[in-house]
Structure 1
Amino acid sequence: MESINPATGQRLDSYETHDADDIDTALGTAQSAFVDWRSQSMAHRQTLLEKTAQLLEERVDEYAELMTHEMGKPIEQARAEVRKCAWVCEYYAETAAEQLQDELIESDSDARTLVSYDPLGPILAIMPWNFPFWQAFRFIAPNLAAGNVGLLKHASNVPGCALAIEEVLQDAGMPEGVFQTLLISSSEVDDIISDDRVAGVTLTGSEGAGRAVGQRAGQQLKPSVLELGGSDPFVVLDDAPIEATAKRGAFARLQNTGQSCIAAKRFIVHDAIYDDFVEAFVDEVEALTVGDPTDEDTDIGPMARPDLRDDLDDQIDRTLEAGAELLTGGEAVDGEGAYYQPTVLTEVPRDSAAATEETFGPVASVIRVSDETEAIDVANDTDFGLGASVWTSDLDRGEVFARQFEAGLCFVNELVKSDPRLPFGGVKNSGYGRELSRHGIREFVNAKTIWVQHGLGEDDTSDDSYAGVE
């Protein structure tokens, strides 16, 4: 498995992949580790998460540089990603005990009834390259806190990041087998999901990968969480502050070089301010610096792989052929690296590639609408349902509008983002299940009902006392 710098096309390193025997050993180690890990006190597990957070903070520059070299993330954004991983570890170190404490539920007056939340076992995480540390840690922190153990199948272009994640957890004192990285191909995933030693699976990735993983998990009657693609609407109402909204919109679309599931992708703009917004938006996009991702002044780096750049270029060409207009960008950058010009398309037809497919790179599609009714219709006219945002000077109006979005993450006057304190996930073809917050930590646990009867008398065993019992 090779690591290639997308800014230069040069090989960074090569890594020995794991074979069938290695996988079998890892699964056995995970199963054994789970028996001990689940019996450890919550306080102990939380202490190790706190230590992990400390190490991440100490190694911000080291891990940021690794990300930047392996997948091209601008360096300051890479540092922010490592710090966010520390945050999610700190969050569950502080909150996991409360989120998983026994829940008393009132039932019969002569019984004590409750729900306990018990870990399931080894969980397989299949993670993407675009946020190589964050995507993994938003799985790791809640699941290790809950008493599960993790197996990571990371994207094949970030093997260095995958091993660094394993390293920092080991250095924090996590016992052997509590978290392991598997350097394997996607073709080996089905057999791992089917293995009796794996209790569940989570995937962040494409719709196609999600369907395959969800199908296999369903066949094995194992729980799964899928966070798939998005084509997030960014709705600009007629009373939105144009300059401020355009500035936020440019960042919402182009952070991480546009390679984000929750990036704003379809800009749906009220006709009354359409021309003014487009002018301000293009100015903001053209002001961003494209360049070497290790340079502190770079806003937009290379795309992660040349083939991804080619796919984006094809989507733009098909959208232009369908009748859209090109205002800026629209071409690959000459020279080394998988760079693509930041691109703005306007008058984008609703049935064109950029409006119906996920565009995973630095291109924004702008669609004109006549009123709020048409705006929400266009916003929801997609197979995806991950995130959505609306921009307005009237917060009450914004909230009423946001409640109409068919999406899992709905924001008013803020770009769509993940936050450890709030559930994260989508609907429709964007997947199911939730990560983060108390919702995420309860995805891979057994919500166990416990009934403790206070007394057992003659009346309790009468035929009448069991009338209607299933």
Structure 2
Amino acid sequence: MEFNSINPYNDQMVGQHTAQTEQEVADALKKAEDAFNSWKKVPLATRASFMVKAGSVLRDNIEEYARMITLEMGKPMAESRSEINKCAWVCDYYATHAEQFLRAETIETDAQKSLVKHEPIGCVLAIMPWNFPFWQVFRFAAPALMAGNTGLLKHAPNVFGCAKQIEEVFIKAGFPSGVFQNLIVHHDQTESIIAHETIKAVTLTGSERAGAAVAEMAGRYIKKSLLELGGNNAFIVWEDADIDQAVKTAVGARMLNAGQSCIAAKRFILIESIYDEFVSKFTTAVQNLKSGDPIDEQTEVGPLARKDLADQLQAQVQKSIQSGAQLLLGGNQKNCYHEPTVLGDVKPGMPAFDEETFGPLAAMIKVKDAKEAFELSEQSKYGLGVTVFTRNVEKALSMSDQVSDGAYFINQLVKSDPRLPFGGTKRSGYGRELAKDGMMEFINRKTIYVG
């Protein structure tokens, strides 16, 4: 089987990748198992030196790697460079902090001595998406490999070029053979790989549908799973907010990566007294964004990664308009490109409110007060994150328990940071990545007791 990587902007071939045979996959699994048996014994300081080198490889080859991201999935070059730099940051972060995170914990009990040690569990399978093709992988790989685990990557087929470059990063950094490997396989092979005795856990970032399928497989074979799935984040603006700053932040929160982000702001819930001002300024700012070829340094909004994704977004736009939403900007689609679109008077029951919209669509929602804003924010099957914009920070802090999401940001867009745990609730998945929490997901917390 051949996988074609197609540039979504011009429909040109970026690369062709041949699927691995069953024997090649079996060999990779054996290699991962053998590598684990030696890698787990490598001193932490040595592992850290490899991880620091990986960060250096990323920075040294930033133009090459950023270009591959842009060609394969359409992200503007400036954003692709930022993604590579963030990957280097997460490598440095875990190289620096792994020793502290993995330190044994002495616990006072009736024993002469009792403690908890942190040991690796083995090979972890990572099933990763195309929207942040480097970052999603490195935020898993950096803590997992530093902990002494090995990793196998099954990436999205439209970014197999990125996947090969990621494997190359670890090879260039000097990691022993088999510690991190890339698989070129069809999703039909996923279950047989998860079932293999070498695989001890699986982590997936992707759609709700994919997450449910992988969680079911992992459960069937008693393998731990971590899911980072969809989101329908609310961006709440109170009447006392700095509207100009809120608009500036909101445009980035929605239009970054052409809106193709699980943690993007999607529902803009606005107190009625500032609704018109915010919507007017937001619409003008979005209208001024430059669309075009993402390789062009001036481009701010590129195409969506595939035509079917743009088709789906267009259907959500049209159904919302038919249900009473007001088209304030955009609304048109051509192949993979979807115009940045703003809908006003969006209400529950419309796709723009109820569903995850994975593209440059902003839904404007009017409410009477903060109480109604939080009620509508919670009216979602997802629970990744919420932003509140206000000058009354203390009030916003006091109301954080009104939100059941995994993140609550005040006067800032929801974003991931290596120093903070990242993850969602409800149908946004379970488990946490990044910070110490992310490292602990794939660790055997071993109790040791001396009587």
Q: State the TM-score, normalizing by the size of structure 2.
A: 0.99
2:282 is equivalent to residue 281 of structure 1: yes
Who is 2:350 aligned against?
352
Who is 1:430 aligned against?
428
- Superposition pairs for residues 25-174 of structure 1, below 5 Å? 25-108=27-110, 111-174=112-175
Q: Determine which of 314, 339, 342 is the counterpart of 2:340.
A: 342
More displaced 10-residue stretch of structure 1: 189-198 or 426-435: 189-198
2:264 is equivalent to residue 266 of structure 1: no
Code of the aligned partner of 2:251 = A
Runs of 5+ in structure 1 lacking a partner?
454-470
| Higher gyration radius (CA) | 1
- Alignment partners' CA distance in 1, 2:435 and 2:311: 37
- Alignment partners' CA distance in 1, 2:210 and 2:398: 34
Match of 1:73, SS state, is coil
Cα deviation digits, residues 149-205 of structure 1 (max 9, x gap) = 000000000010000000010010011100000011111111111111100000000
Contact 1:390 1:401 survives alignment (8 Å):
no
- Superposition pairs for residues 234-253 of structure 1, below 5 Å? 234-253=235-254
Who is 1:464 aligned against?
none
Who is 1:367 aligned against?
365
Code of the aligned partner of 1:407 = D
- Alignment partners' CA distance in 2, 1:395 and 1:271: 20
- Alignment partners' CA distance in 1, 2:376 and 2:399: 13
Match of 2:269, SS state, is strand
Who is 1:467 aligned against?
none
Q: How much has 1:221 moved relative to structure 2? A: 1.3
- Alignment partners' CA distance in 2, 1:403 and 1:37: 43
- Alignment partners' CA distance in 1, 2:423 and 2:116: 25
Who is 1:15 aligned against?
17
Match of 1:199, SS state, is strand
Cα deviation digits, residues 94-121 of structure 1 (max 9, x gap) = 000100110111112x511110011010
Cα deviation digits, residues 195-231 of structure 1 (max 9, x gap) = 1110000000000110011111111111110000000
Q: How much has 1:241 moved relative to structure 2? A: 1.0
Who is 1:457 aligned against?
none
Match of 1:53, SS state, is helix
Q: How much has 1:403 moved relative to structure 2? A: 3.0
Who is 1:463 aligned against?
none
Who is 1:465 aligned against?
none
Contact 1:53 1:90 survives alignment (8 Å):
yes
- Superposition pairs for residues 426-465 of structure 1, below 5 Å? 426-453=424-451
Who is 1:254 aligned against?
255
Q: State the TM-score, normalizing by the size of structure 1.
A: 0.95
Who is 2:408 aligned against?
410
- Alignment partners' CA distance in 1, 2:293 and 2:74: 8
- Alignment partners' CA distance in 1, 2:282 and 2:292: 20
Match of 2:292, SS state, is coil
- Alignment partners' CA distance in 1, 2:265 and 2:26: 41
Cα deviation digits, residues 117-138 of structure 1 (max 9, x gap) = 1101010000000000000000
Contact 1:402 1:412 survives alignment (8 Å):
no
Who is 1:305 aligned against?
306
After TM superposition, where is structure 1 displaced by more than 4 Å over at least 4 residues in a row?
none
- Alignment partners' CA distance in 1, 2:397 and 2:102: 31
Match of 1:345, SS state, is strand
Contact 1:71 1:158 survives alignment (8 Å):
yes
Code of the aligned partner of 1:187 = D
- Alignment partners' CA distance in 1, 2:130 and 2:408: 25
- Alignment partners' CA distance in 2, 1:277 and 1:73: 27
Code of the aligned partner of 1:98 = Q
- Alignment partners' CA distance in 1, 2:247 and 2:34: 53
Code of the aligned partner of 1:416 = V
Count of paired positions: 449
Contact 1:122 1:199 survives alignment (8 Å):
yes
Q: How much has 1:401 moved relative to structure 2? A: 2.8
Who is 1:292 aligned against?
293
Change (3 A) 1:368 1:88: same
Cα deviation digits, residues 356-397 of structure 1 (max 9, x gap) = 110000000011000111100000000000111100011111
- Alignment partners' CA distance in 2, 1:445 and 1:431: 19
Who is 2:231 aligned against?
230
Q: How much has 1:402 moved relative to structure 2? A: 2.9
Runs of 5+ in structure 2 lacking a partner?
none
